[in-house]
Structures are given as structure tokens and as C-alpha cells.
Structure 1
Amino acid sequence: MTARVAGILLAAGEGSRLGRPKALVQLGGQTLAERGVALLRDGGADPVLVVTGAVPVSIPAAEAVHNPDWRTGMGSSLAAGLRALGALGAGAAAGDDIGAAVVALADQPLVGAEAVRRLIVAYRDGAGVAVAAYDGKPRNPVLIAREHWASVLELATGDAGARPFLRAHPELVTLIECGDTGSPYDVDTPEDLARVAGVTALRSEENSLSPTGR
């Protein structure tokens, strides 16, 4: 049996600089949380978990996991997601066939589903840790094979997420170039959101004008 690759969307923050929780921000007719779930599912991740915190998030295509410690930073949200996956179907085959997880951030809505697909292909080809790179620079999303989850949990503190683990084990990391699939641009401020909204509108216009509509 081929192991499944799950998706974890980190969407717990309150968006202090943006002035509102990012998960519920509307962009192109969807919330950032909905866009993140679609990114993971379209890229081939199944199941998909959304780690919530500041506000509740309910998306039919995903399972919500509340992180009561969301104020401490991204590390606790990543830990909550990995623990939830580890407990999924515990003692049954349902969760045992999940071999890896792709971790994405709700505040990076310009990341493309193709980046997720490339990480999963790298995992199928033997990579234990695969990181999307843009012009050679590691960013997000990140795929982590199940055998490394415990080590990630040991180091996931504060707002660093998986970064401490990745820096401690560079020999495990396979960089996957995704610069042609989208952008890891963060939405942290109202100005960021305006810029991303402009890019999204332009892409929609270009798609509507293409012969295939795609």
C-alpha cells in the first residue's frame, strides 16, 4: 500500500499587524483558510487538517484542530497538527498509512498547488524532508516524513515552526524549486493584502482571457 501524504494548514494566528485573523480574510471570493485547504487538496494531500486558534474555522474539505496554545507561536500549531495526525486512527489502519505531511501557511495565498505536488513526488522518490524553494531559497510549503515527526516536535517552539529542525538536520533536506509555480509572499499587513489582491485579480483576468479559460 502506498502511504498517503496528509496536509496541515497553519491558520491559528490573530493577525495583529493585519488587524484581523488571517484565516477569515477574503481574497478572490475565498477566505485564506479556504484557499490554503484547496492548495493542499489540489496538490494531492489527503486528509487535510486546519490548525485553528484565534478564531474557529470550519471548512467541509478539512478537519479543524484547535491549538489552545496558539498565542505562543507557530511552533505550537505545527505540534498540534502533527500530534493530531499521529493520533488519527490510532490503533487502526486509517491513520497508519499516512507516511508524511505537507505543512502550509494560510498567510501565503500565492503558493500554487503544483508546489505541493512536487513535494509529494519528491517524497515518493525517497525524500524524507522536502522544502519548496523559490530562486533557490527555502520557504514553504514543507513536507516532513512521519519518521521525523517526533524530532520536529522536540524542536517546534515559539514562532519558528519547522525551521529549528530543518537547520539542525540540513543533510535530510531536499530543496524542490517551485519558483515557476507561485510565490511564498506573506500577508502580514494591510499593504501586503492589497498587493496580493492585485496579483490575484490580475491572474483571474489573465485566466478569463486565455483560450481555454485556464
Structure 2
Amino acid sequence: MGTLKQLLPWGKTTIIESAIDAACNCKNVDQVIVVLGHEANKIRATLEKKIRPKLEIVVNPDYKLGMFSSVKAGVRALAPKVKAFLIAPGDQPEIRSEEYDKISTIFKNLNESQDIIIPVYKHKGGHPTLFKTSLCSEILNMPYGGNGLRDLIHKYNEKILRINMEYAGIIHDLDTKTDYLAAINRRNDKDGI
């Protein structure tokens, strides 16, 4: 995108702050871990302007190895008694607290044979994705250079609960300037601006 997309404006805040606040405002989430890599100091400075009691910032020194290295850094930082964790990229500001709440509520009644919950919109998987912590050691032992969590999801395909969501925000990430402008338009339409 040519710019630090996490700090692009999103309403009265930034893209990453919107993503974080959605997780922090979820009643069923006790800990929110944000893994920073490239330009970590700039992003941290923005995040530290607002007090978020659930927030823990982790800096991934291996971020050049790819996104999966950040997943591993986040998994290492999980509180010891956590039963499951949700993953969402920091460039998905359209995910709302409602999605976190719905997925975490479904987890409470999850069948023992299911290890992963993936929200789906019109047959496309989105975020936040939930993983049981029983998968943590396997995640931490997975090599770099593969497809990361996609490999794990493929391996455990029979142990996945896919839940249909009626909200497209779970599949919108902001990889390009066009994606960002489209998201701004969706946001403005929703807010009646």
C-alpha cells in the first residue's frame, strides 16, 4: 500500500485501533494480544495514547519471517489458563465486537471433537478465527515457509465448525489503497455520511 496501513484514519481513530477496540469491547474476551513487527514503535506510540486494560502489546523481532511468526509470538504470550484464542489481522477494522461475542459464545457450547471455529460469509472464510489452546504446541512447532495456519486448518478440516455470518466485514481486509477506499465508502454508507 506504500504507507503504514495500521495507522490510516478510520473514523475518529485508526485502522488498528478500531480492530483492537472491537476485541477489547467483547464481553467474553479477557486478554487482547497485539503483535507488532514492522514500525512497531510508531504503532505502539499510537496505541499507548488510550488506556485499554485488556491489551497486551508484544513485539515480534522475527516479523520479517512473515505473518505466521507473529501468530507464534501471540500464542507464546497467551495467559496460562486460556482455553481458546481468536485471531484477527490488524487490517480488518470492519470486524465488530458482535462477531467476537458470537464466536466466543458458540465456543462455550462447542463439541469436544471440534478444535477450530471459522466465521463464513457467502462461502468465504473470515475472521476472527478461534483455535483451542490444545493446538498451541503444534502451532509453535510448525516450520516457517509453509502456509502457516492454512496448513493447520487443512489438517484439521474435520474438526472445524464453520458458522455462517450475515456480516461481510469479517472478510474485508485492507491490502491495497482500493481496498481501503472501498472500506471507507462502506463505513460512510453505514454511518449515513
The interval holding the TM-score normalised by the smaller chain is 0.7 to 0.9
Shift of 1:141: 1.3
TM-score, with length taken from structure 1: 0.77
Q: Does 1:118 align with 2:105?
A: no
Paired with 2:146 and 2:182, the residues of 1 have a C-alpha distance of: 24
Aligned residues: 180
| Alignment RMSD | 1.9
Instruction: Indicate conservation of the 8 Å contact 2:119/2:170, yes or no.
Output: no
The answer to whether the 8 Å contact 1:131/1:138 transfers is: yes
Larger strand share, 1 or 2: 1
Correspondent of 2:62 among 65, 69, 76: 69
Alignment of 1:15-54 (within 5 A): 18-43=1-26, 44-54=28-38
In 1, distance between residues paired with 2:76 and 2:31?
Answer: 14
Give aligned-pair identity as a percent. 26
Q: Give the Cα–Cα distance (whole angstroms) in 2 for the partners of residues 156 and 26 of structure 1.
A: 35
Q: Secondary structure at the match of 1:96?
A: coil
In 2, the alpha carbon distance for the partners of 1:204 and 1:45 equals 26
TM-score by length of 2: 0.85
Quick one: structure 1 residues 203 and 100, their matched pair in 2 at CA, closer, same or farther if it must change by over 3 Å? same
Q: 1:112 to 1:161 in 2, by over 3 A?
A: farther
Flag structure 2 segments of 5+ consecutive residues without an equivalent: none
Residue 140 in structure 1 maps to residue 127 in structure 2: yes
**Among candidates 179, 200, 203, match of residue 190 of structure 2:** 203
Does the 8 Å CA contact 2:94/2:169 hold for their aligned counterparts?
Answer: yes
Change (3 A) 1:161 1:201: farther
Task: Check conservation: 2:35, 2:58, Cα contact below 8 A.
Answer: yes
Q: Which residue of 2 aligns with 1:84?
A: 77
Q: CA deviation at 1:96?
A: 3.1
Partner SS state of residue 130, structure 2: strand
User: Contact 1:79 / 1:156 at 8 angstroms: preserved in 2?
Assistant: no
Who is 1:192 aligned against?
Answer: 179
Name the SS of the counterpart of 1:143 in structure 2: strand
Give the equivalent residue in structure 1 for 2:159.
Answer: 172
The CA deviation at 1:81 is 0.2
